[in-house]
Structure 1
Amino acid sequence: MVNTTPVPSRASAPYPYLEQDPNLQRDRILAAIDVGTNSIHMVVVKIKASLPAFTIIDREKETVRLGDFADNGDLSEDAMERGIEALKRCRSLAESLKAEDIVAVATSAVREANNGQAFLERVQQEVGLSINLIAGTEEARRIYLGVLSGMEFHGQPHAVIDIGGGSTELLLGTGGPHRFLSSTKVGAVRLTARFVSTDPISDEEFTYLTAYVRGRMEPAVEDLKRHLQPEETLQLVGTSGTIECVAALIAQDRLGFVPEPLNGFQFTLEELETWTNKLRKLDLEERLDLPEMSARRAEIILAGAVILQETMTMLGTESLTICERALREGVVVDWMLSRGLIEDRMQFQRSVRERSVRAAADKYHVPQAPRERVADFVLSLFDATQGHLHDWGNAERELLWAAAILHNAGHYISHSSHHKHSYYLIRNGELLGYTEAEIEVIANVARYHRKSLPKKKHDNYRNLSDKHDRNLVNELSAMLRVAVALDRRGIGAIASVQYDFDSDEQVLHLHIQPAFAHDDCASELWNLADKKLWFEELYEVQLVAHLDR
């Protein structure tokens, strides 16, 4: 008989579990890939765990223009082929450098394409790479990590802008926890395809492009400003190929050469405005003749410059500092954090998942005591049956915890069908620290904490990426149903549970201790009799409850 409730060392602080590696301090080689709308970038780094820090030992970049969508909103076949070939080269390079892991993330283009998931499956089959799809705000968070790995903010507020092919990330921080994250569907490839048909651009198209950018970026800019204190002075940092290209043009014009590296180079809004006006008057051939200008960049540079100019103007910043570290390096930092290799200046990021989930629960007014009880109950059940009825590990345990904390979020919308509302709120709540696939699992587990069982005809269930995730949702939701039943009245009627698994008879005994001496917990036991059926069917075990007084 094992007492599993409460579980203070794990249930109260489920995030994260540091890798128990006896060689934790050894040097390591890691490859990080950013599958963007315009380009696929990879950095290969050597991690000096004893510092901890990393140095970039090689880079790979190819402009594949995934954002050249077909008319039906799909990634085009040509774009997917270019992407797959580029990823094959990335993997080959990473392996030649003896990378122990390759971490890849996909952003705007793959997020939005109708066949984005199909593309990721093709990459898995043809390249052997698993790519994590991340939301815009998660992209912004990792950009922040990447910038912090290369710059000191000295406790002063810095805005960071990253202009991609399909979206622009704008965020605010001082070097500690971020204050603000945003992602807006305004990117250099997207805007060029939509608004630029003349070469050089006509005055009419330029005016419309500028007005559109201002209208789309203004909400994010104003929201960022609200996170500043009146006495604070904002500094601006720029990342991404578009901004570096603009910086190179300005540097060549001002200095007569382009610094190598560009990291730390500064230019003013006035210099940017001068170059934006130059670019709008040049046709493609003339832009191609500019220094540091590739053919693909020449096609989209004007739209990128307009995004930067309008954002700087609205922010009221007169200068910008280049940081060459961004999303790819942020992926590296996130990997290091998840393995316990960083414990000092960015220690706060280790708990980003837990803080994000709790913030969402507070936002949707999920009562704290009941949600914590259900989380404790379900983690206890998970721990007691691990190795007996299932072999899921810490990663799956974290997802179960998040689903337990948020399973009743749907009450924020309506009591009726609140489990379905919980799915919607979790799926669209932009939880930080998770991939899109992980968020889908959390949302589905919460969705099935009551009422109907998972069915292939349900749209949300079909959204799960593969059979592994569907099996995971089935099993975790079955556990969550049991835990929800144990707190049926939401008053903490059950003080503790002891589990006793009889492997010969395939019976899991629940020895329940009431919190109140004269309470027979009839409501909880009645609800458990119904909610346990899915658990019993999946695990082929009988669950028997005993009320111990």
Structure 2
Amino acid sequence: MTNQSRTSLLQDPTISYDRTLAAIDVGTNSIHMVVVNIKPALPSFTVVAKEKATVRLGDRDPKTGYLTPAAMDRATQALRRCQQLADSLRVDDLVAVATSAVREAPNGRDFLQQIEEELGLTINLISGQEEARRIYLGVLSGVAFDNEPHAIVDIGGGSTELILGDGREPRFLSSTKVGAVRLSAKFVTTDPISDSEFNYLQAYVRGMLERPADDLRSHLQADEPCHLVGTSGTIEALATLHAREHTGAVPDPLHGYSFSLEDLHEIVDQLRQMEYSDRCALPGMNERRAEIILPGAIILQEAMTLLKIPTLSVCERALREGVVVDWMLHHGLIEDRLRFQSSIRERSVLQTVQKFRINLSSAECIAHHALSLFDQTQEILHDYGDEERELLWAAAMLHNCGHFVSHGSHHKHSYYLIRNTDLLGFTEVEIETIANIARYHRKSCPKRKHDNYRNISSKTYRRIVDQLSPLLRLAVALDRRQRGAIAKLELTPHLEKGTILLHLSPHDPGDDCALELWSLDNKKDCFEAEYALQLVPILDTASSSPSI
């Protein structure tokens, strides 16, 4: 695959007019939505409206870890309000992501399926690494890094992200299971907090953040200065407390406001002595935030201490704005200082190819064949577009990674490795889909009894596996000797006769491609069953075709 064709997977050049986009972040503590007007000509976006609801999805059943019916109902109602606001503003597109609470709950995917059925809203579940990457994008859209390293700390209800970047590629991304809601539910039973609980909570947070903080610092050169940026409701609430205490007024916006670790120590000392009612009485502190502000402050205190950065600046852009930027990148609307992020999916796949020592030339040949089959059957056998095409490309590039484990059942190993590798830029269901398409490049066709197939919560994505995995099987067969024997393929459908002809042009006119034809005959069953067509291969040796 050429660089030009790879780039085309990620870009939609047709978007040249202003768009209104809504981005929803379904978090552990709150559901946030931001509605923005995107101006591709600049490119930039301006915030049109915001919506927030504290739904506490993180208040899970302590015994089972399940999302509770009450929390799911609160979230459903909040999402319905978000939809209504988006509709009233006539948004052109709506993108929603879910993070820690839904990621970890055994019934999290069932909840997302329920939302899709009840509201018609698709929510993409993203990994911790992907969450960190999108937070980085959100901060980049609001902070001038000037090629200098910036550490970012984002404190959520269920997780804390530590990130390091200089405006180009992120140097370090991490997501750790320490969040304000999680810690409050797990460790805080006294009011005001007792010395023993406070000391234990502080030690626990330090222990959890020590490794990622050390890893982040290892990506800094000796004596390289580093700025610290903080995002999230917890950090904004702490900045508000600091501003009232030290200036008597809260700046609006808070973006760019700074305070020191020494100042934070004072705030923590004050908060630990307060009862819940006292915290509620603090100016600007709502009841929900008052419940979790102390654990959140401890997380920030330990993060700043471990990172050895004494001052923090507030950034009001975070995950939801990162979702907007990612959408713009994915549609080819950004070519300036964020251009290095625009091919994140492609580069993440290629890094995985290298990681598992996949034969790159063979993988590219098979991907070329698979995409050729996709393009020639589009609007004839399927109506998929660029996004599904990209999933097929990724599966084709990675389908053989299971050989890294062993040759036997390597298709199953491929599924496991892809499913458990951080493919940045993809959502959880997209990674699951890529892994399944790759898993079915050989042996049986997709079956409902297979656990990996059932792991795809969305019927839409299961259908993608059903229809695209047969194309990958054919592509794999066409490179059976891993030498690029087939230079070109051309499909001629005769739907009225129930057949489709597959014309094959070998690189070498004298090559009978017997092994490829034999492999094709053994691998075409899934294609024929899925599309109810007989596949008839025809080897054209009249002339050779140019190389791929």
Q: Specify the SS of the correspondent of 2:333.
A: coil
Counterpart amino acid of 1:495? A
Task: Please tell me whether residue 17 in structure 1 is matched to residue 11 in structure 2.
Answer: yes
Sequence identity (%):
59
Task: Please tell me whether residue 347 in structure 1 is matched to residue 339 in structure 2.
Answer: yes
For 2:517 and 2:4, locate their aligned partners in 1 and report how far apart those are by CA, in whole Å.
Answer: 26
Residue 59 of structure 1 is matched in structure 2 by 50
| Structure 2 residue corresponding to 1:89, chosen from 81, 91, 97 | 81
Quote the offset at 1:369 in angstroms.
0.7
Contact 1:108–1:136 (CA under 8 A) maintained in structure 2: yes
Quote the offset at 1:451 in angstroms.
1.2
For 1:244 and 1:547, locate their aligned partners in 2 and report how far apart those are by CA, in whole Å.
Answer: 67
- Unaligned stretches of 5+ residues in structure 2: 542-548
Task: Please tell me whether residue 423 in structure 1 is matched to residue 444 in structure 2.
Answer: no
Residue pairs, 1:144-543, within 5 angstroms: 144-516=136-508, 518-543=510-535
Moved more, 224-233 or 376-385: 224-233
For 2:7 and 2:501, locate their aligned partners in 1 and report how far apart those are by CA, in whole Å.
Answer: 27
Contact 2:9–2:389 (CA under 8 A) maintained in structure 1: no
Q: Specify the SS of the correspondent of 1:179.
A: strand
| Structure 2 residue corresponding to 1:113, chosen from 73, 89, 105 | 105
Quote the offset at 1:99 in angstroms.
2.0
For 2:183 and 2:532, locate their aligned partners in 1 and report how far apart those are by CA, in whole Å.
Answer: 55
For 2:35 and 2:249, locate their aligned partners in 1 and report how far apart those are by CA, in whole Å.
Answer: 28
For 1:144 and 1:436, locate their aligned partners in 2 and report how far apart those are by CA, in whole Å.
Answer: 19
Counterpart amino acid of 2:449? K
| Structure 2 residue corresponding to 1:45, chosen from 19, 36, 39 | 36
For 2:225 and 2:51, locate their aligned partners in 1 and report how far apart those are by CA, in whole Å.
Answer: 37
Contact 2:9–2:386 (CA under 8 A) maintained in structure 1: no
- Greater relative CO (CA pairs within 8 A, separation 6+): 1
For 2:283 and 2:481, locate their aligned partners in 1 and report how far apart those are by CA, in whole Å.
Answer: 70
Contact 1:11–1:379 (CA under 8 A) maintained in structure 2: no
Residue 545 of structure 2 is matched in structure 1 by none
Q: Specify the SS of the correspondent of 1:146.
A: helix
Contact 1:163–1:304 (CA under 8 A) maintained in structure 2: yes
TM-score by length of 2: 0.95
Counterpart amino acid of 2:501? H
Moved more, 476-485 or 414-423: 414-423
Contact 1:11–1:375 (CA under 8 A) maintained in structure 2: no
TM-score by length of 1: 0.95
Counterpart amino acid of 1:367? N
For 2:384 and 2:534, locate their aligned partners in 1 and report how far apart those are by CA, in whole Å.
Answer: 20
| Structure 2 residue corresponding to 1:130, chosen from 114, 122, 126 | 122
Quote the offset at 1:293 in angstroms.
1.2
Quote the offset at 1:394 in angstroms.
1.4
Quote the offset at 1:490 in angstroms.
1.8
Quote the offset at 1:500 in angstroms.
3.1
Contact 1:14–1:401 (CA under 8 A) maintained in structure 2: no
Task: Please tell me whether residue 31 in structure 1 is matched to residue 22 in structure 2.
Answer: yes
For 1:479 and 1:60, locate their aligned partners in 2 and report how far apart those are by CA, in whole Å.
Answer: 43
For 2:279 and 2:145, locate their aligned partners in 1 and report how far apart those are by CA, in whole Å.
Answer: 35
For 1:404 and 1:511, locate their aligned partners in 2 and report how far apart those are by CA, in whole Å.
Answer: 21
For 2:463 and 2:119, locate their aligned partners in 1 and report how far apart those are by CA, in whole Å.
Answer: 25
Contact 2:9–2:387 (CA under 8 A) maintained in structure 1: no
For 2:494 and 2:51, locate their aligned partners in 1 and report how far apart those are by CA, in whole Å.
Answer: 56
Q: Deviations over 1:359-393 (max 9, x none)?
A: 11111111211111110111111112222222221
Contact 1:15–1:351 (CA under 8 A) maintained in structure 2: no
Counterpart amino acid of 1:189? V
Moved more, 243-252 or 485-494: 485-494
Residue 546 of structure 1 is matched in structure 2 by 538
Contact 1:14–1:398 (CA under 8 A) maintained in structure 2: no
Quote the offset at 1:468 in angstroms.
2.1
Kindly tell me the number of residue pairs found equivalent between the two proteins. Answer: 540
Contact 1:408–1:418 (CA under 8 A) maintained in structure 2: yes
Quote the offset at 1:423 in angstroms.
1.0
Contact 1:106–1:133 (CA under 8 A) maintained in structure 2: yes
Counterpart amino acid of 1:16? L
Cα RMSD (Å):
1.7
Q: Specify the SS of the correspondent of 1:320.
A: strand
Counterpart amino acid of 1:484? V
Residue 3 of structure 1 is matched in structure 2 by none
Moved more, 514-523 or 291-300: 514-523
Quote the offset at 1:518 in angstroms.
4.9
For 1:314 and 1:414, locate their aligned partners in 2 and report how far apart those are by CA, in whole Å.
Answer: 41
Residue 75 of structure 1 is matched in structure 2 by 67
For 2:486 and 2:451, locate their aligned partners in 1 and report how far apart those are by CA, in whole Å.
Answer: 36
Moved more, 485-494 or 442-451: 485-494
Quote the offset at 1:521 in angstroms.
2.3
Q: Deviations over 1:412-434 (max 9, x none)?
A: 12222111111111111121111
Quote the offset at 1:84 in angstroms.
1.1
Q: Deviations over 1:85-139 (max 9, x none)?
A: 1112222222222222222111111111111122222222333322111111111
Quote the offset at 1:77 in angstroms.
0.8
Quote the offset at 1:516 in angstroms.
4.3
Q: Deviations over 1:253-308 (max 9, x none)?
A: 21122111110001111111121122122221121222221111111111111111
Counterpart amino acid of 2:505? Q
Q: Deviations over 1:219-251 (max 9, x none)?
A: 211221222222421111000000111111111
For 2:529 and 2:451, locate their aligned partners in 1 and report how far apart those are by CA, in whole Å.
Answer: 23
Moved more, 406-415 or 222-231: 222-231
Q: Specify the SS of the correspondent of 2:497.
A: coil
When residues 425 and 232 of structure 1 are mapped into structure 2, their CA distance, relative to the original with a 3 A threshold, is: same
Q: Deviations over 1:481-515 (max 9, x none)?
A: 11111111222233333333334433333333333
When residues 389 and 88 of structure 1 are mapped into structure 2, their CA distance, relative to the original with a 3 A threshold, is: closer
Quote the offset at 1:462 in angstroms.
0.6
Contact 2:110–2:457 (CA under 8 A) maintained in structure 1: no
When residues 128 and 477 of structure 1 are mapped into structure 2, their CA distance, relative to the original with a 3 A threshold, is: closer
Q: Deviations over 1:430-485 (max 9, x none)?
A: 21111111111111101111112211111111111232222210111111111111
For 2:230 and 2:88, locate their aligned partners in 1 and report how far apart those are by CA, in whole Å.
Answer: 32
Quote the offset at 1:9 in angstroms.
7.7
Q: Specify the SS of the correspondent of 2:418.
A: helix
When residues 317 and 40 of structure 1 are mapped into structure 2, their CA distance, relative to the original with a 3 A threshold, is: same
For 2:28 and 2:233, locate their aligned partners in 1 and report how far apart those are by CA, in whole Å.
Answer: 12
Moved more, 227-236 or 324-333: 227-236
Q: Deviations over 1:167-216 (max 9, x none)?
A: 11111111112222111111010111111111122222222211211121
- Unaligned stretches of 5+ residues in structure 1: 1-6
Counterpart amino acid of 1:478? P
Contact 1:34–1:40 (CA under 8 A) maintained in structure 2: yes
